[in-house]
A and B are shown apart, each in its own frame.
Chain A
């Protein structure tokens, strides 16, 4: 704060309150809709105060899905989403930390070639190679499997870069001391590098958890069985037609359930989240 400007302060708060209200509005409406009956939503305008159907709606979607659209139970979808959201970050972190350790702490033939091989994958988001990747998964017989859902999304260069950058900041003296004490590379990795990388791993985990949970195009392509739906796909499958054809109260209850886990991760791990976001993009 450089100088006192009460008018500017007032404007700042006003802008922020309006901004926050606009950002929160859709989420509030979603929550309200998830507590109403179908008829209440259909009466235009719908009430903007929560109704009394909270437990009924959530129980319905968790155990039996919607009645007009997909009838898969959302609780199974939540399990699938959770598997994706956990396997993808854990897989990414494990393979990337090993490969960056090799690239930073070893000199070997073709090192630069391998590094560039990983590097160029930055340029191939899944959206770009949809159909061929789908064929690869189909050829490997991994349609409608957890392996098919997660494995193609595990490979990524961003995590490798993050670890590489972090390893470069580890003082050389530590590696020197380890060598003098007779520790081999893997001993150094387990006892020095891994404990030092905890912060980077946590930050990466938060970002990738959200990435995995919110996947849409990939599960849409390779899951055709209801038992493999993730919750984001489940919402899409509940929407069957025009405005009046959808059970919006149930769709919105599912939407709340789909938002809750990643939102909790963001809110509870805000520090790691911001760190992960800012660092993975550098």
Chain B
């Protein structure tokens, strides 16, 4: 799409673009180039000497059992966050689309978590599930479940998944609701006249028509689980216990900031960049397809 009517000036467009380009170069391209540069270098323990080592950092990473485990942890974590996040919010959106009374009240409560910072969400849930004083821990004890996420890796994973899903529910819910409301009522009415019940209508009409929204949300939720959950993890488990919740982004931070391994951390950043680029490409292919509808 191009504008038919345009203005002409030899310098003005460059002047208008300059601020954004300056920010982009200084805070995106320069650091990204440095990340790539560092990823090919090895520093000694004191940071005095650096030498160019080619793909050595990457070779070390992929031979490192911890790093490979972090991949596995990230995969499990994102599948759980995306799966529960999408499932629960679809359920709530379908119900909210049906009701007339109180719809605004439900919506208002359900969008609240969007306003809460990831780190604060982590603190809230960590408090509720705190091993000795948590209110839910107390309830679970009544059922004979011993809850201590500080030493139990699976429970720690469950805690960060719950906090992450809780925070993301609002977003998914709003998109599903918008998707549901854009489905033409005439289609559903025609199906109802032909004798299709609510369940049948949902499976054969609503769900297929909602698939673009679902796919979009799937990509967004995976990106969210990969990157935006840093706050949740840092405020609760900090990747522990025994790295049970150390997702890739947390490992970049941990190795680079806390352990000072510049080369290794930069190599991890480069790998993450490749993952983001792949995810973004998938998302944009899908958006192009949607435009043609």
Question: Distance in Å from the Cβ of A92 to the closest Cβ of chain B?
Answer: 9
Alpha-carbon distance A251/B20, docked complex (angstroms): 39
Please tell me if B249 contacts chain A, counting CB pairs below 8 Å: yes
Interface residue ranges, A against B (CB under 8 Å):
1-3, 5, 8-9, 11-13, 15-16, 19-20, 23-27, 29-30, 33, 41-42, 44-46, 48, 94-96, 98-99, 101-108, 111, 114, 117-118, 121-125, 127-136, 151-152, 154-155, 160, 167-168, 172, 175-176, 179, 184-186, 188, 210, 213-217, 220-221, 232, 235-236, 239, 242-244, 248, 251-252, 255, 258-259, 262-263, 265-267, 270, 273-274, 277-278, 281-282
Point out the residues of chain B lying under 8 angstroms from A132, CB to CB.
Answer: 30-32, 34-35, 38, 266, 269
| In-complex Cβ contact of A236 among B95, B234, B269 (8 A) | B234
The distance in angstroms between the C-alpha atoms of A33 and B169, with both chains bound, is 24
Nearest A-chain residue to B129, judged by Cβ: A26
A101 CA to B7 CA in the complex, in Å?
Answer: 11
Task: Report yes or no: A15 in contact with B128, Cβ–Cβ below 8 A.
Answer: no
A128 touches B117 (CB 8 A): no
B265 is an interface residue with CB less than 8 A from chain A: yes
Interface residues on B, range: 35 or more
B280 contacts A122, C-beta separation under 8 Å: yes
Task: Decide: A130 and B252 in contact? CB cutoff 8 A.
Answer: yes
Q: Is B3 on the interface with A (CB-CB < 8 A)?
A: yes
Q: Is the CB of B17 within 8 A of A236?
A: no
Which of chain B's residues have a CB closer than 8 A to the CB of A3?
Answer: 192
Contact with A along B226-259 (1 / 0, CB 8 A): 0110110011000000000000010011001100
A-B contacts, 8 of them at CB < 8 A, read A2-B192, A26-B124, A108-B10, A123-B277, A131-B262, A133-B31, A216-B119, A217-B231
Assess A96 versus B178: contact at CB under 8 Å? Given A29-B127, A128-B227, A243-B133.
no
* B138 shortest CB reach to chain A, Å: 4
What is the predominant secondary structure among interface residues of chain B facing chain A?
helix
Interface flag for B23 (CB, 8 Å): yes
Q: A23-B169, A45-B135, A99-B20 are in contact. Are A128 and B269 (CB under 8 A)?
A: yes
